[in-house]
């Protein structure tokens, strides 16, 4: 399991940014199977309160999507959120 400590800026909020990446097709077309995975991860993101805990495979998918997502803007707060995702720590198993 990976644990991500959220960072919020004044313009870009952690949860909303991750949800936008998960719900968007900023890195290409999306199959139904991938859509299901993204929506499952989005549910976890939405339900999180404080730190975000993801299974390793879900974390890897989120990280890959975030790295490949093509944003329409360059902003330090987006880089800060990307860094928070990159700096996830190992944690206990998901309950």
Q: Which structural domain, as residue segments, surrounds residue 67?
A: 2-90
In a domain, 57, yes or no: yes
The answer to whether the CB of 71 falls within 8 A of the CB of 26 is yes
In a domain, 95, yes or no: no
In a domain, 29, yes or no: yes
In a domain, 45, yes or no: yes
The answer to whether the CB of 72 falls within 8 A of the CB of 15 is no
Q: What are the pLDDT digits (tens) for 37-52? A: 999 999 999 999 889 9
Average pLDDT over the chain, rounded to whole?
Answer: 91
Domain count along the chain: 1
The answer to whether the CB of 76 falls within 8 A of the CB of 10 is no
| Global confidence as pTM | 0.87
Tell me what pLDDT residue 21 has. 93
Q: How many whole angstroms separate alpha carbon 61 and alpha carbon 50?
A: 20
* DSSP letters spanning 12-63: --HHHHHHHHHHS-TTS---HHHHHHHHHHHHHHHH--SSEEE-HHHHHHHH
Tell me what pLDDT residue 26 has. 63
């Amino acid at each position: 399991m990976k644990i991500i400590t959220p960072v919020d800026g004044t313009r870009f909020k952690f949860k909303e940014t991750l949800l936008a990446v998960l719900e968007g097709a900023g890195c290409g077309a999306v199959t139904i199977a991938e859509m299901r995975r993204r929506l499952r991860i989005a549910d976890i993101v939405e339900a999180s309160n404080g730190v975000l805990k993801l299974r390793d495979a879900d974390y890897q998918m989120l990280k890959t999507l975030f790295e490949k997502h093509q944003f329409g803007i360059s902003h330090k707060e987006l880089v800060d959120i990307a860094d928070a995702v990159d700096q996830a720590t190992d944690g206990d198993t998901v309950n």
